[in-house]
C-alpha cells in the first residue's frame, strides 16, 4: 500500500547537474516503479520518509507558474529522481500541467521514463519546438523487467509507445541502462527498438556502495550463477568486463550504423552518424 501526500514547494525547477540540460523537473518525490537498483533512493533521507522506497509518493504543489523569460529555449529534463509518468500521474496530471507551461516557455523538453503513460501527452509533444522522449530498458525480456522494475510498463508496451511516438514525428531515444552484466540482452533491445529510435545511450549498473548489498542479494536470489562475476566487478572493482563490453557495443553499433553513446568503460565513446 502506497502512502501519498501533497507537499508544497517554492519551485518545480532545479538547476541541472546533468550534462546537456539546464534544468531538471521532478514533479514527485518517490517512485512507485520500485526498480531494485534505483539510484534515487537517497531522496528518502531528504524527504524524511520512514517507508521503503516505492511505498510513498509526495505530490508537489507549487502556486507559482514557470517563468517564460527564464526558460526560453533552455533544455529541461523530466525527470532525474522520479518517473514523471508514474501510475499516479494519471490522476494528478502534474507532468501534463508542467508540459503545457513548457510549451508556452518554448523550452526544449527531454523526457526520460519507463512508462507507456507518456503516450497520453502526445498532443502536447507535437506542439513543442523540440521534444525528445527516451525510454530506458535494462532487458528485452519481460520476465526480467517484472523482477527488476516491477512497477514499470512491460517491454511490449514500451516498444509500442516508441513506435507510436516515432510515427507521430517525435524524437525518441533508448537508454540501454542499467546494463546488468551477463543478463541485459542489449542486442535484443536494439533489435526490438531500432526502427523507432533516433539515438541510443548505454550505461552500466553503477552501484553506489549503499545499494550494493541490495543488488547483490537480488543477483544471489535470482541469478546465483553470476555472483562470482558480480563480486569481481563490484566488490573487487575489476574494470576489464566494462572495457570489453564497451568494445563489443561500439563494434556492433558501428557496423549496424546505430547512433550510440557509451557512458562507461575506459572512455566515453560514440558510434554512428
Binding site residues, ligand SF4, CB under 6 A: 31, 33-35, 38, 40, 81-83, 114, 149
Closest CB to ligand SF4 among 3 and 129?
Answer: 3
C-alpha cell at 236: 573487487
Q: Kindly state the smallest distance separating residue 178's Cβ from ligand SF4, in Å.
A: 8
- In whole angstroms, how close is the CB of 140 to ligand SF4 at the nearest point? 17
Nearer to ligand SF4, 9 or 40 (CB): 40
Q: In this complex, which beta carbon is closest to ligand SF4, that of residue 157 or of residue 232?
A: 157
Distances 39 to 16, 105, 214 between C-alpha atoms, Å = 17, 30, 11
Shortest CB 14 distance to ligand SF4, Å: 15
Q: 35 or 94: whose CB is closer to ligand SF4?
A: 35
- Contacting residues for 169 by C-beta, under 8 A, at least 6 apart: 126
Distance CA(202)–CA(200), nearest Å, equals: 7
Q: How far is the CB of 7 from ligand SF4 (least distance, A)?
A: 17
Min separation Cβ 39 and ligand SF4, Å: 6
The nearer residue to ligand SF4, 38 or 173, going by C-beta atoms, is 38
Amino acid at each position: 500500500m502506497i502512502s501519498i501526500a501533497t507537499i508544497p514547494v517554492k519551485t518545480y525547477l532545479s538547476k541541472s547537474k546533468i550534462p546537456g540540460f539546464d534544468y531538471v523537473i521532478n514533479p514527485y518525490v518517490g517512485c512507485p516503479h520500485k526498480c531494485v537498483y534505483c539510484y534515487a533512493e537517497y531522496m528518502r533521507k531528504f524527504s524524511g520518509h520512514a517507508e521503503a522506497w516505492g511505498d510513498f509518493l509526495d505530490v508537489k504543489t507549487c502556486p507559482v507558474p514557470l517563468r517564460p523569460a527564464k526558460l526560453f529555449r533552455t533544455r529541461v529534463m523530466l525527470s532525474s529522481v522520479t518517473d514523471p509518468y508514474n501510475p499516479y500521474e494519471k490522476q494528478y496530471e502534474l507532468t501534463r500541467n508542467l508540459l503545457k507551461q513548457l510549451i508556452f516557455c518554448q523550452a526544449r523538453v527531454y523526457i526520460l521514463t519507463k512508462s507507456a503513460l507518456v503516450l497520453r501527452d502526445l498532443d502536447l509533444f507535437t506542439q513543442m519546438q523540440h521534444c525528445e522522449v527516451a525510454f530506458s530498458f535494462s532487458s528485452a525480456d519481460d520476465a526480467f523487467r517484472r523482477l527488476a522494475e516491477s512497477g514499470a510498463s512491460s517491454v511490449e508496451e514500451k516498444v509500442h509507445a516508441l513506435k507510436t511516438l516515432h510515427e507521430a514525428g517525435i524524437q525518441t531515444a533508448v537508454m540501454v541502462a542499467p546494463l546488468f552484466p551477463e543478463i541485459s540482452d542489449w542486442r535484443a533491445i536494439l533489435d526490438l527498438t531500432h526502427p523507432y529510435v533516433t539515438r541510443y545511450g548505454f550505461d552500466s549498473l553503477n552501484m553506489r556502495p549503499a545499494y550494493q548489498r541490495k543488488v547483490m542479494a537480488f543477483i544471489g536470489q535470482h541469478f546465483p550463477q553470476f555472483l562470482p562475476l558480480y563480486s569481481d566487478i563490484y566488490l573487487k572493482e575489476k574494470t576489464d568486463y566494462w572495457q570489453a563490453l564497451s568494445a563489443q557495443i561500439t563494434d556492433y553499433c558501428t557496423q549496424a550504423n546505430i547512433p550510440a553513446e557509451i557512458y562507461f568503460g575506459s572512455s566515453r565513446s560514440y558510434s554512428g552518424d
